[in-house]
Amino acid sequence: MEAAKNVLDDTMQSKPLVSVIMPVYNSEKYLISAIRSVLEQTYDNFELICVDDGSTDLSPEILRLQQPDSHLKIITQKNQGPSAARNAGLDVAQGDYIAFGKNSPRNRGGYCRLRRINVSRFNSYTSMDRS
């Protein structure tokens, strides 16, 4: 009986993993603040997946400089647009919940607070092949 109670306590205390997917295209001006606002969350069980969608500015270098953070994953692809970048992020996301991030001037003062964001639960996901 005690073992069952311990398992239940562990399950109730565990936090689900949240995958934040952020398409990146020529975003050097706002990218550092967008990344920091996600990485500095009070909720600590998340991964940030930045998908560089063929940027021609300093965005790829900025991403590389941020990569030592264990929460950050970087994907690079040729330019295919934000929908394809989101799908690429979904393909590698490990989270129980998915959130989509932006890097723009509207996000001054912080991207989001994961404890407050509306996220969607996915039991399964199949990417669309457009070939």
Residue 51 · residue 88 · CB < 8 Å = yes
**Is the per-residue pLDDT at 4 higher than 50?**
no
User: Domain of 77: which CATH number?
Assistant: 3.90.550.10
Answer yes or no: is 72 within a domain. yes
Model pLDDT for residues 34-69, shown as the tens digit of each residue: 998 888 888 889 999 999 999 999 999 999 998 888
Answer yes or no: is 93 within a domain. yes
Tokens of 66: 């941020």
Residue 85's domain spans which residues? Answer: 15-116
**Is the per-residue pLDDT at 11 higher than 80?**
no
Mean pLDDT, range 83-103, rounded to an integer: 92
Answer yes or no: is 45 within a domain. yes
Answer yes or no: is 4 within a domain. no
Q: Which of 81, 72, 105 is nearest to 23 (CA)?
A: 81
Answer yes or no: is 121 within a domain. no
pTM: 0.73
Mean pLDDT, range 79-97, rounded to an integer: 95
Mean pLDDT, range 82-106, rounded to an integer: 89
Residue 53 · residue 79 · CB < 8 Å = yes
Strand partners, 76: 52
Tokens of 129: 């092949």
Instruction: State the CB neighbour count (10 A cutoff) for residue 122.
Output: 13
User: Average pLDDT of the chain?
Assistant: 78
Answer yes or no: is 9 within a domain. no
- When divided into structural domains, the chain yields a total of 1
* Dihedral pair phi/psi, residue 8, rounded to 5°: -65, -45
Q: How confident is the model at residue 17 (pLDDT cuts 50, 70, 90)?
A: very high
CA 87 remoteness from chain centre = 12
Answer yes or no: is 109 within a domain. yes
Per-residue confidence (pLDDT) for residue 95, from 0 to 100: 93
